[in-house]
Amino acid sequence: MKIAIQFAMPAEFHALPGMGELAPFETVSGIPFFEVAPDILAACGGVGKVNAAMCAQILCRDFKADLILNAGVAGCFTDLPIGTPVVVSDFIQHDVDTTAVGDPIGLVSTVNQVAFPTWKAETVQTLLSSQGVSAQLGRAATGDWFAVRGSRSEWIRDTFHPILAEMEGGAIAQVCLRNGVGCVSLKTVSDHLFSEKQADEYFDFGEALKQLGRMVLPLAKKLQEMDA
């Protein structure tokens, strides 16, 4: 099975041990693509849903990925400690709103669904456990907005009940759905949305990157051994 690891930021990719000096084998539409192990690719797609969707589509169509592992850091709605790994069970897109024409909040047209489940999330959680990693399982809210404390974050929390906020995963899951490709997502907590210290936490997320870097490639190799 060909696995593609999709990051948003180069810092997340560089957290993988030994990858700091690795050169991309190809750059497509400004996106660098790397081979990090046999039949395991990695890409830094950029921040936000459009960048994420474009990268995921290239991985699906051009590089024939069987499964995309979306990996990165994320803000947290709860009090999970910094660096806590979270296997995303499903994504919602909190900035999609066509309620004016009678749709449920968060409904993504064309595919006509609100929640985008990931591939075998509980199995992924068990795979991590077999590697000595205790990961949480929960929903992530995606949107083109850096989530901070305030009424909007409270509304997202109370409406969709996620434990994480991030900016790419929902778009990746949507692209994977339309291409018939599996989507797995592993995040580590970088900051807390309702903390007065959120900005300090986010701009010093070394622990979140460290935890992410040590887990991602071993998980990708385990996933490679499974049938998609």
| Active-site residue set | 12, 191
Rounded to 5 degrees, what are φ and ψ at 78? -110, -160
Rounded to 5 degrees, what are φ and ψ at 15? -70, -20
186: β partners: 71, 87
What is the C-alpha to C-alpha distance for residues 225 and 94, in angstroms, rounded to an integer?
34
Rounded to 5 degrees, what are φ and ψ at 203? -80, 5
Q: Which residues of 128-153 are buried (b: 16+ CB within 10 A; e: fewer)?
A: beeeebebbebbbbbbbeebeeeeeb
Rounded to 5 degrees, what are φ and ψ at 85? -80, 140
